[in-house]
Structure 1
Amino acid sequence: MVTRFAAIAAAGVLGLAMTACDASGGGGESGGDGESAAPATDIKVGLAYDIGGRGDKSFNDAAYRGLQQVQEELGIEDVQDLEPTEGESDADKVNRLTLMAEEGYNVVIGVGFAYEQPIREVAPEFPDVHFAIVDSEIDDIDNVTGLVFAEEQASFLAGAAAALKTEEDHIGFIGGVETPLIKKFEAGYIAGAQEINPDIEIETAYLSQPPDFSGFQDPARGKATAEGQYDAGADVIYHAAGASGNGVLESAAEQEKLFIGVDSDQYESAPEDQRSSVVTSALKGVDTAVFEYVKSVVDGDVQSGVQRFDLASGGVDYATSNPEQISDIQEELDGLKQRIIDGEIEIPTEP
């Protein structure tokens, strides 16, 4: 299998880089479709990464952790994770998904909204394959499940944290690409900050505009943009920019300012000399979503339609791994979190 994938990639048919997943290395409601449980040995899982690929210390790495959990806890050995290539088209994604389905991968997961149209094209051709997509609400194809998140809720807590930690009443937000999804992060962040201080000053910037998605994989541009916001007076920046956020963190550490990560706990992945700058991260349980979806296939109770992950289900949250930065504000953040869960705070999804 690996040999055939590599041969096709080398031939340039897909234009992709392939990585074999290394096993050493709260979900929504489930809708049964009447299938019997499948032995884990009969399940083959293919996962295709979003822009930036594995190693972004954020969105894609969260999906990879879910794939690792699938191997370790479900005993599924036959998995492959596929890297995107720079500047690839929807046709490349279609070919990638088609190849996995043709090669017998009966669970195929596209990581990121960029896979929506390719999955819509491929899934009907393979009705016996279970497809899932992260960050897209596909609910009109029987064998496709959408795994979506309340990013605005976690971002609200990130904004509150920034407003509680700033000494200048001046904070920043950097988005990778100005899409409706990333605007949800911005909207939640602004609302959370203004919940603490209605008069707070907030810098906002996007690294690229569609159809240019390079803003998710340009740490140098992320660093330069962060430097501009810090120079303008902001002392805490939250990013939703994928791998570009690594440059934002680098700038924060160099200028002895503060940083808030996204999707994964970026305190845990930060270099030792940058960790003290990380206040928290807005967590997005992509790993949980991937694992729970595959488990539903193994259990014969396949999640269907759109599965939503929010604060109440544990699908999003905020990180508490850096006690030096979070301990003095955690009680207030937990109070806000509970008010969101209880429905007392409504959070916008557009700025």
Structure 2
Amino acid sequence: MKKLLAVILFLSFTIGTACAEQPVVGFVTGASGLGDLSYNDMSYGGIRKAQQEFNFKLIVMEPEKDGESTIEDFTKLINQSDILILIGAQHAKLVKTTAPKFPDKKFIISEVPVDGLNNVSSVSFKQGEGSFLAGALAAMCSKTGIIGYIGGTPVPQVREFEQGYVAGAKYAVPGIEVKTAYVSPLGDFSGFNAPAKGYNMAMGQYNDGADVIFTVAGLTGNGVIEAARRSGKYAIGVDSDQDSLAKGFVLTSMIKKMDITAYNELKAIMQGKFTPGPTSYGIKEGGVSLSEMKYTRDKIPAGVLEKVEDIRKKIINGEIKFEFREDAQ
């Protein structure tokens, strides 16, 4: 276990209950932990909002360097908590193994659907839809006819980003070339915590002609964004609005509203409305979107944003359908 921030940020205001009676939420971050300016921080923001409203204790646990948590450490956290919320597909097996042993605890896992367990609620996102929009925008803004994609590790969720991005790019510009790469192999989640590698890989793609790179790699993506800034090219951020990390060099960000879903899931439990099983959020449900592009909007060619908006509407009404293929290479 890299860090255990024990019972942090406990709000001390009273609402008529003794501290011992307050619920305890255990939060297991995804790979790279807090401070990634991406999915972990966004989820944490939603949890903190819920904490301010419902006054629970919070314990934050960050995974090992490989991005995974041991069953021993997680069991300790379960014994200290009433509600467990985990971020990242790598934690699915952990939840499936432990949840049946602790039927009195509530589990929330984000990024992967989990069904069939009465005490587990899961949230997933139709990231392929949002990535379709990002790919279309990247292709229409490219001047070289080459764009790139850098993922943390090829788990299905990250590959869905890639497939959506490539599909959207080729829908908008059929002749576009898309270079794809992953920072670490399948099973190794360190690819989400390696900004130096992200920087070097991005510089390689830029040197090979790419002028827009979409990064889905947690903290590693900060290195990709820095490479965009230094090379004068574009990066596309992910999960949170990362446009301000390099103003004018982050073309857009494909936002997943993980703060809203974390808040909603905790709120449901606190109000006695817990519903087990999977929930999926796409463009239509307001779960994924592109950023406002306030630092790049004036640089985007005329008519491109109108075309992106038209594609967005076609996804919502079903005229454009993206389906992730796990067996695709």
TM-score, normalising length: structure 2: 0.90
Question: Following the alignment from structure 2 to structure 1, what is the Cα–Cα distance between the partners of residues 229 and 8?
Answer: 32
Q: Secondary structure at the match of 1:184?
A: helix
Report % sequence identity.
33
Question: Following the alignment from structure 1 to structure 2, what is the Cα–Cα distance between the partners of residues 252 and 183?
Answer: 22
Give the equivalent residue in structure 2 for 1:51: 31
- Tell me how large the CA RMSD over aligned residues is: 2.2
CA displacement 1:140-182 (0-9 Å, x = unmatched)? 1110111111010110011011012111111111111012211
Could you tell me which amino acid in structure 2 is paired with residue 80 of structure 1?
A: I
Could you tell me which amino acid in structure 1 is paired with residue 4 of structure 2?
A: A
Segments ≥4 residues shifted beyond 4 Å = 19-24, 38-41
Contact kept? 1:45, 1:79, Cα under 8 Å: yes
Give the equivalent residue in structure 2 for 1:98: 75
Question: Following the alignment from structure 2 to structure 1, what is the Cα–Cα distance between the partners of residues 91 and 296?
Answer: 39
Aligned residues: 317
Contact kept? 1:221, 1:247, Cα under 8 Å: yes
Give the equivalent residue in structure 1 for 2:174: 198
Question: Following the alignment from structure 2 to structure 1, what is the Cα–Cα distance between the partners of residues 30 and 290?
Answer: 23
CA displacement 1:100-148 (0-9 Å, x = unmatched)? 3212x22101111111111112111211111011122211111011111
Give the equivalent residue in structure 1 for 2:184: 208
CA displacement 1:211-260 (0-9 Å, x = unmatched)? 22211111111011100110010100001111110110010000000110
Give the equivalent residue in structure 2 for 1:75: 54
Could you tell me which amino acid in structure 2 is paired with residue 210 of structure 1?
A: L
Q: 1:295 to 1:39 in 2, by over 3 A?
A: farther
Give the equivalent residue in structure 2 for 1:346: 321
2:309 to 331, 334, 337: 334
Contact kept? 1:19, 1:83, Cα under 8 Å: no
1:254 to 230, 238, 241: 230
Aligned positions of 1:112-261 closer than 5 A: 112-261=88-237
Question: Following the alignment from structure 1 to structure 2, what is the Cα–Cα distance between the partners of residues 39 and 114?
Answer: 36
TM-score, normalising length: structure 1: 0.85
Structure 1 unmatched ranges of 5 or more:
1-13, 25-37
| More displaced 10-residue stretch of structure 1: 188-197 or 42-51 | 42-51
Give the equivalent residue in structure 1 for 2:5: 18
Contact kept? 1:147, 1:306, Cα under 8 Å: yes
Task: Give, in angstroms, the shift of residue 331 of structure 1.
Answer: 2.6
Question: Following the alignment from structure 1 to structure 2, what is the Cα–Cα distance between the partners of residues 244 and 250?
Answer: 10
Q: Secondary structure at the match of 1:208?
A: coil
Question: Following the alignment from structure 1 to structure 2, what is the Cα–Cα distance between the partners of residues 308 and 291?
Answer: 15
Q: Secondary structure at the match of 1:205?
A: strand
Question: Following the alignment from structure 2 to structure 1, what is the Cα–Cα distance between the partners of residues 118 and 290?
Answer: 33
Give the equivalent residue in structure 2 for 1:281: 253
Give the equivalent residue in structure 2 for 1:316: 288
Question: Following the alignment from structure 2 to structure 1, what is the Cα–Cα distance between the partners of residues 8 and 179?
Answer: 39
Question: Following the alignment from structure 1 to structure 2, what is the Cα–Cα distance between the partners of residues 265 and 330?
Answer: 18
Task: Give, in angstroms, the shift of residue 21 of structure 1.
Answer: 5.0
Q: Does 1:305 align with 2:273?
A: no
Structure 2 unmatched ranges of 5 or more:
12-16
